[in-house]
Amino acid sequence: MKVGIVIAALAVVVVAGLGGFYVFKRMSDPLAAKLAEAKDLGLPITPQDLHITSLSDEQNGATLVDKATGMLDISESGKSDMKLITAGVSTSSTEADRQEATGALKRIKPEMDVMIAATERPHCQFAVNWTDPAHLVLPYALPVKNFVRAFCLKAEDLDGQGDTKGALNSIKVAHRISSLLADSPLIINMLIRISTDAIVERAFEHVIDRHRRDSGFLKAAKKLHDSFDQVPDYRRALKSELVYDLAVIDQVKSLKDLGPSLGKNVDPSTPITEADKNVAKLQALAATTTFFKELPKSPDDWTAASKAAKDAQSVPWPEGAKTNPVTNALLSVSSPLDWDSLIDAVIRSQSRRRLTDASLQIFLTRSKSGKLPKSLPDLGSSSIDPFSGQMFHYKPSGNGFVLYGVGANRVDDGGEPKKDDFIQFD
């Protein structure tokens, strides 16, 4: 009996000792403490923490994106056709550019059909090589963006031929291709998604402009726009990005691995020590944990989200780390260094969506009353500029109007295109 009591007592002492050692380790090892803090906040640390489920090829649209990309690669004119399409949808394109781009559309029809099939799959999960993230390339990013351009160009081409139904369907496909990136956990994919969404919204605006007095078209366009999925969830991407940041720092063997991210004044032959890596990890973790501790509960509280991003970027560096070129180079691939710009990009995407929706509702109002409203009506969230939290500025003029928000600088510049978020119908 006494022996049992002694053994039990020893067990308690050992467990208590181990617990004390763990607490001591957290207190004495800043990196271990930050890793523990991140886990306490629910942040994933390793790829396994993301719980990404594997998909069959039949479920995964990424396999068809790969197929379409491969078809372009082996085609004699595939890459040059995509360049023509990119030039054709440019804001500075000429009539000759658009004619050449329209010809290119016909030549890549087989690839476009494969992309339509990709949008009909329930998921789209692109492979990420977490074991070698320093050499991670995104071979699908540019093709996805180019196919969005192609379908937007097709929409405007069909609209010019009088096929408004076909035009709206092409815009629908373009948006679905843009949404293929929604399953990805990486920030770079979210940013690509934001840029492709902007291409879709711009094409939508061009088509709306031609049919602003056609109530049947406006109703169909509004229904389609309402079906668009939500603006990307920046919280999910930021959480997942910590996994990528830590993996990159872990896997980098040489500064040469960082490629274009390496500054011009850094010698690529400079050795990387384990201490350099630990300092870089510590800074990435400190910024990330600061951000998520301050992040507002509502994803639409953009003012608080922007403040949290700026505070995360202002986290003090360990002594001597900021002047260490190796640590700086390692952190050049770390997302916290530019989170405020990321938040602004997401807000701008939200703003663009609302401006398009508000414009559709304004034109629908005119189709009923016969005239444009004198002031911006209450259109729910579509009336609100996410940058300011106030109503968009509305200026009716003749048969059209200007509708704008204050933009990322949060200053009313009178609807100046380079500074404010705006939509204009002359």
- 232 vs 335, more confident: 232
Q: Tell me if 394 sits within 8 A of 376, measured CB to CB.
A: yes
At residue 2, the pLDDT reads 43
Q: Which of 84-88, 246-250, 278-282, 349-353 has the lowest mean pLDDT?
A: 246-250
Per-residue confidence band for 310, with pLDDT thresholds at 50, 70 and 90: confident
- Report how far residue 396's alpha carbon sits from residue 399's, in angstroms, rounded to the nearest whole number: 8
Which H or E element spans position 305? Answer: helix 302-313
Mean residue pLDDT of the chain comes to 84
260 pLDDT more than 80: no
Domain boundaries, the chain: 2-40, 42-229, 242-342
Per-residue confidence band for 221, with pLDDT thresholds at 50, 70 and 90: very high
Q: Hey, what amino acid is at 262?
A: L
Number of Cβ within a 10 Å radius of residue 166: 15
Q: Which of 77-81, 196-200, 332-336 has the lowest mean pLDDT?
A: 332-336
- What is the per-residue pLDDT across 51-62, written as a single tens digit (0 to 9) for each? 877 889 899 999
Burial of 54 (0-12, 13-18, 19+ CB in 10 A): exposed
Strands (DSSP E) contained in 379-419 are: 393-397, 400-405
Per-residue confidence band for 379, with pLDDT thresholds at 50, 70 and 90: very high
The Cα-based distances of 134 to 165, 181, 249, 297, 321 in angstroms read 45, 21, 8, 33, 21
**Mean local confidence (pLDDT), 211-215:** 93
Question: Which residue matches tokens 């000792």?
Answer: 17
At residue 261, the pLDDT reads 61
